[in-house]
Amino acid sequence: MRANELPSPELLRQLLRYDEATGKLYWRERSLDLFYDGKWSAEQRCNNWNSRFSGKEAGTLNTTGYINVWLFGKHYAAHRVVWTMLKNKPPFDQIDHINGNRCDNRIENLRPVSNAENMRNAKRYNTNKSGVTGVYWNKQREKWRAFIMVDGKENHLGLFTCKNDAIAARREAETKYDFHKNHGRAS
CATH of the domain at 143: 3.30.730
Q: Which amino acid is at 159?
A: L
Q: Which of 95, 113, 131 is the last residue in one of the domains?
A: 113
Quick one: average pLDDT of 9-22? Answer: 97
| Claim to verify: residue 59 and residue 143 sit in the same structural domain | no
* Per-residue model confidence as pLDDT tens digits over 33-47: 999 898 999 999 999
| Claim to verify: residue 69 and residue 160 sit in the same structural domain | no
pTM: 0.78
CA-atom Rg of the chain in angstroms: 22
Between CA 126 and CA 124 the distance in angstroms is: 6
Q: How far is CA 76 from CA 7, 18, 58, 64, in A?
A: 10, 15, 11, 14
Residues paired with residue 160 on neighbouring β-strands, in sequence order: 144
Q: Which helix (H) or strand (E) holds 77?
A: strand 74-77
- Domain assignment of residue 107, given as a range: 9-113
Is 42 a member of any domain? yes
Mean pLDDT of the chain: 92
Quick one: average pLDDT of 147-173? Answer: 94
Per-residue pLDDT at 1? 41
Q: Are the CB atoms for 83 and 105 separated by under 8 Å?
A: no
Alpha helix locations (H) across the chain?
A: 9-15, 42-53, 78-87, 115-119, 163-176
Is 45 a member of any domain? yes
Q: Name the domain count of the chain.
A: 2
| Claim to verify: residue 78 and residue 15 sit in the same structural domain | yes
| Claim to verify: residue 150 and residue 127 sit in the same structural domain | yes
Q: Which of 113, 143, 160 is the last residue in one of the domains?
A: 113
CATH number for the domain including 47? 3.90.75.20
Cα first-last separation, the chain: 35
Q: Which of 62, 91, 113 is the last residue in one of the domains?
A: 113
Q: Which amino acid is at 90?
A: P
* Per-residue model confidence as pLDDT tens digits over 83-140: 999 999 998 889 999 998 999 999 999 999 988 888 887 888 888 899 999 999 999 9
